[in-house]
Amino acid sequence: MQFCPYDGTLLQVHIFAQGTPASELRFFCPLCPYIHSPKKKHALDVPTTRKKIDDIMGGDAAWENVDRTAVTCPACSHGEAFFMQLQIRSADEPMTTFFKCAKTGCGHRWNE
């Protein structure tokens, strides 16, 4: 990002003579007549890694001692699932029920 040296506004990009072999990028200020034509191209490759997502439900250990109920899994239509209830909102809101399909191999999770 570049800023205007006169008023500090974020410079916008304009492609001058687009479609021609001599096309170039120009930075311009939308508030004043300042225009900057960079002499060389600036490119910076920054390697990124995806942040590890923590399981807020406590992982597989949280589902070890939970009850079962008769409910249909939306993924595989199995008729039984594990469930647990947690208070995730304020005290005057109802508890949220979390389900995990009891069918071996499915393990689909959803909530109500």
Q: Which residues are documented as binding site for Zn(2+)?
A: 4, 29, 32, 73, 76, 101, 106
Quick count: other Cβ atoms within 10 Å of Cβ 104?
7
Q: DSSP secondary-structure letter at 53?
A: P
Q: DSSP secondary-structure letter at 10?
A: B
Contact assessment for residue 105 and residue 78, using Cβ atoms and an 8 Å cutoff: no
Q: Residues annotated as binding site?
A: 4, 29, 32, 73, 76, 101, 106
Give the ranges where the chain is alpha helix by DSSP (H): none
Question: What residues pair up with 12 in beta bridges, in sequence order?
Answer: 28
Which three-class secondary structure state does DSSP give residue 50? coil
Q: Residue type at 24?
A: E
